[in-house]
Amino acid sequence: MSSKSKKQVEVIFSPALFEYRQIKENYIIVIADILRATTSICTAFKWGVRSMIPVRTVQEARDYKEKGYIVAGERIEETFEFADFGNGALEFMNDKIKDKDIVHSTTNGTVAITMAKQAEPNEILIGAFSNITSLSDYLLKKEENVLIFCSGWKNSFCIEDTVFAGALLERIIEKGGYINHNDSAYSSIDLWSKTKDKLMEQMQSKASHMNRLKKYKMDDVFPYTYTFDTCNVVPKLYNDRLKDALKEEK
Amino acid sequence: MSSKSKKQVEVIFSPALFEYRQIKENYIIVIADILRATTSICTAFKWGVRSMIPVRTVQEARDYKEKGYIVAGERIEETFEFADFGNGALEFMNDKIKDKDIVHSTTNGTVAITMAKQAEPNEILIGAFSNITSLSDYLLKKEENVLIFCSGWKNSFCIEDTVFAGALLERIIEKGGYINHNDSAYSSIDLWSKTKDKLMEQMQSKASHMNRLKKYKMDDVFPYTYTFDTCNVVPKLYNDRLKDALKEEK
């Protein structure tokens, strides 16, 4: 219990703040890009994808495509015409992805994954409302510090990622014996507690990214995005690929 | 009213996020570094300082000192041995500063002022709980967009600056006909509403910077910092100097 009680938590609100994080040793990074990458990744694993290869640039995705890989992804406000799938969770509810390896590149989420990888934490996990219980159960068995890395929107703060961070912290801090010294972690919990009773309604009125997605007719995924525990998976980065840790580490 | 209703608000949580702000035209920047720079600046003006010259580096402060200027400032965790005054508000409650020009350099606040200046907004103002009503009354007469720039702690998010931003927004948004499309502005207001009933107690438990200041015995200023409207001043940058806009623009 004494080592457990020294575990710390922290929330990073934007890729631009990642280098200023306080936790830099013995830690697990949880990536959150609720709209839409991390919700979609959880969904793909629920629907049986074997692995997902997150890549940062459209050019990397194109190179994989030319080698014969299936490519999923989007750039909002830009084209990504050669992709086989977009980045909406509903698209991954599809038997065609079963046992496949899919290359995945998105506006914000895969950028954060790439940055996290360069930092070489002990583990990199994918979090969303869709796998929050599976993820928190997984974390509660760990002894490492936890850093929740919100992808944001092109380096801007996004409320939906932060509220998710608060929801996850609420589930792990007390039970897991974590210490919270971090202003952003306290604030995430406060923002979660202010919005949780009417989560989707609150996000509709406060999350600018939802208006952006609505404009591009990418709003079909909203109710699903804010539904808890649709996916009993914990996507985790093994070298350059995401796989479901619940299967890999059974 | 039609032009008024298009005014926007935004909150920037850290100097590292300033370049990603959405508001870049026709705007006023309010700098918040509640612990301690902006609270101290308001206090100095209340006690009759003529002007304050914010400088970013210790070397700049030293150069001014050698030219005979009075220098105030601090670097927490570093020395600043040649300064005449520190950066605590209580130090400025002193008749010796009356009608003087004081050079001022601090860990976070004066860094943010310098960055704001380079962006060339219409106005740069100083905000703290100590001048919140004077400042909001001043802003309510303006037609510009308002960007609240939280200084943070060495680029990390600080809850006390954010809660102040929420308190200021609560006072101006509705009355001023501002539109809020900004996730960070909504979140600041939510964080303010979660903490305002027991502001100082909440900050004591959630603001890591308060523990840092306590460690360096700089906590004498806490009760004063969270007291509203002790200073009927609106410090504003005119070229390279802060002066009290309520006197300058009478």
* Strand locations in chain A (E): 9-12, 27-32, 51-54, 70-73, 101-105, 123-127, 145-150, 235-238, 241-244
**What Rg value do the Cα atoms of chain B yield, rounded?**
17
Indicate the pLDDT class of residue B149, thresholds 50, 70 and 90. very high
Contact (CB<8Å) A156/B20: yes
Q: What is the mean pLDDT of residues A2-27?
A: 88
According to DSSP H, which parts of A81-131 are helical?
Answer: 109-119
CA distance A218 to chain B (A): 19
Q: What is the mean pLDDT of residues B187-203?
A: 95
How high is the pLDDT of residue A5?
53
Would you say residue B76 has pLDDT above 90?
no
CB A233 within 8 A of CB A134: yes
Chain B hits for A195, Cβ within 8 Å: 190
How high is the pLDDT of residue A2?
43
Q: Position B207: which residue type?
A: A
CB B232 within 8 A of CB B137: no
Query: Which range is least confidently modeled, A202-211, B34-43, B112-121, B144-153?
Result: A202-211
Chain B hits for A206, Cβ within 8 Å: 183, 186-187
Q: What is the DSSP string of B8-59?
A: BEEEE-SGGGGGG-S--SSEEEEEE-TTTHHHHHHHHHHTT--EEEE-SSHH
Mean pLDDT of chain B: 93
Would you say residue A175 has pLDDT above 50?
yes
Q: What is the mean pLDDT of residues A128-142?
A: 97
The burial class, CB within 10 Å (0-12 / 13-18 / 19+), for A208 is buried
Scanning the structure block, which residue is given the tokens 């967009």?
A: B145
Cross-sheet strand order for the sheet of A70-73: A9-12, A145-150, A27-32, A123-127, A235-238, A241-244, A51-54, A101-105, A70-73
Write the pLDDT tens digit of every residue in B218-244.
888 999 999 999 999 999 999 999 999
Give the A:B interface size as CB pairs under 8 Å: 83
Contact (CB<8Å) B20/A14: yes
Whether A90 contacts chain B with CB within 8 A: no
Would you say residue B3 has pLDDT above 70?
no
Contact (CB<8Å) B156/A211: no
Write the pLDDT tens digit of every residue in B86-129.
888 999 999 999 999 999 998 888 889 999 999 999 999 999 99
Alpha-carbon span B184 to A67, nearest angstrom: 42
Contact (CB<8Å) B17/A206: no
Count other C-beta atoms under 10 Å from residue B141's C-beta. Answer: 7
Chain A hits for B194, Cβ within 8 Å: 190, 193-194
Q: What is the mean pLDDT of residues B126-155?
A: 97
- Between residues A213 and B185, the one the model is more confident about: B185
Mean pLDDT of chain A: 93
CA distance A154 to chain B (A): 8
Instruction: Give me the interface pTM, i.e. the ipTM.
Output: 0.92
How high is the pLDDT of residue A219?
84
How high is the pLDDT of residue B79?
67
Give the count of domains, chain B. Answer: 1
Query: Which domain does B31 fall in, by range?
Result: 4-239
**What CATH number has the domain bearing residue A181?**
3.90.1560.10
Chain A hits for B22, Cβ within 8 Å: 156
Would you say residue A136 has pLDDT above 60?
yes
CB B125 within 8 A of CB B109: no
Judge whether B177 lies within some domain.
yes
Q: What is the DSSP string of chain B?
A: -TTGGG-BEEEE-SGGGGGG-S--SSEEEEEE-TTTHHHHHHHHHHTT--EEEE-SSHHHHHHHHHTT-EEEE--TTS--TT-SB-S-GGGG-SGGGTT-EEEEE-SSHHHHHHHHHHH--SEEEEE-GGGHHHHHHHHHT--SEEEEEE-TBTTB--HHHHHHHHHHHHHHHHHHT-B---HHHHHHHHHHHHHGGGHHHHHHHH-HHHHHHHHTT--TTHHHHT-S------EEEETTEEEEHHHHT-
Alpha-carbon span A150 to A127, nearest angstrom: 10
Select from B47, B65, B49 the least CA-distant residue to B57.
B65
State both tokens at A206.
């406060």
Alpha-carbon span A110 to A21, nearest angstrom: 19
Return all residues near B179 (Cβ < 8 A) that are at least 6 apart. B5, B6, B7, B8, B9
Contact (CB<8Å) B184/A157: yes
Whether A22 contacts chain B with CB within 8 A: yes
- Between residues A65 and B6, the one the model is more confident about: A65
How far, CA to CA in Å, does A232 sit from each of A104, A129, A133, B22? 20, 11, 8, 38
Chain B hits for A194, Cβ within 8 Å: 190, 193-194
Judge whether B58 lies within some domain.
yes
Judge whether A73 lies within some domain.
no
Write the pLDDT tens digit of every residue in A75-127.
776 668 899 998 889 999 999 999 999 999 988 888 899 999 999 999 999 99
How high is the pLDDT of residue B160?
96
Instruction: Specify the pTM.
Output: 0.94
Residues in chain B: 250
In DSSP terms, A145 is beta-bridged to: A27
Contact (CB<8Å) A190/B194: yes
Write the pLDDT tens digit of every residue in A137-150.
999 999 999 999 99
How high is the pLDDT of residue A18?
97
Judge whether B245 lies within some domain.
no
Phi-psi region at B120: left, alpha or beta (left = phi > 0; alpha = psi -120 to 50):
left
Alpha-carbon span B91 to A171, nearest angstrom: 44
Residues in chain A: 250
Alpha-carbon span A69 to B170, nearest angstrom: 51
Contact (CB<8Å) A20/B154: yes
Q: Position B143: which residue type?
A: E
Q: What is the mean pLDDT of residues A222-236?
A: 97
Alpha-carbon span B241 to B50, nearest angstrom: 10
Judge whether B246 lies within some domain.
no
Would you say residue B7 has pLDDT above 90?
yes
- Centroid of chain to Cα A24: 19
Whether B159 contacts chain A with CB within 8 A: yes
In DSSP terms, B101 is beta-bridged to: B51
Chain B hits for A193, Cβ within 8 Å: 194
To 5 degrees, how large is the angle CA A164–CA A169–CA A170?
100
Would you say residue B4 has pLDDT above 60?
no
How high is the pLDDT of residue A78?
67
Who among B182, B183, B208 is closest to A183 (CB)?
A: B208
Restricting to A residues 192-221, those with a Cβ less than 8 Å away from any Cβ of B are 193-195, 205-209, 211
Judge whether B248 lies within some domain.
no
DSSP state of A131: G
State both tokens at B224.
């004063």
Judge whether A13 lies within some domain.
yes
Would you say residue B68 has pLDDT above 80?
yes
How high is the pLDDT of residue B126?
98
Judge whether B244 lies within some domain.
no
Who among A182, A184, A206 is closest to B183 (CB)?
A: A206
